[in-house]
Amino acid sequence: MSDLTKLTPENSERILDIVADLGRPTAAQVQAELASRYGLKAPLEQVVRYMEFLRSGFPRKLAHAGPDHWVMVDLG
């Protein structure tokens, strides 16, 4: 298992890229994509908490898009 309990620029960019690529994914889809693209296998709970924190990002950030769906917003 990988660890997403610490904030790193690399993991933040990876998640933002995945959400941007998938359009309106669920956290579970992001979790699966982290594993397949980067071999980063983290518990869903950690992925969700990391994604919640990326709502604070700038200029790229995540936003809720209905229950359990996410979008990437570029405020730049």
Query: Measured from the CB of residue 18, what is the shortest distance to other proteins in angstroms?
Result: 19
In sequence order, the β-bridge partners of residue 62 are 72
Yes or no: say if 12 and 59 are a contact pair by the CB < 8 Å rule.
Answer: no
52 touches other proteins by CB under 8 A: yes
Burial class (CB in 10 A: 0-12, 13-18, 19+), 62: buried
Query: Measured from the CB of residue 52, what is the shortest distance to other proteins in angstroms?
Result: 6
58 touches other proteins by CB under 8 A: yes
Q: Measured from the CB atom, is 36 or 55 closer to other proteins?
A: 55
7 touches other proteins by CB under 8 A: yes
User: Which tokens sit at 75?
Assistant: 């405020």
36 touches other proteins by CB under 8 A: no
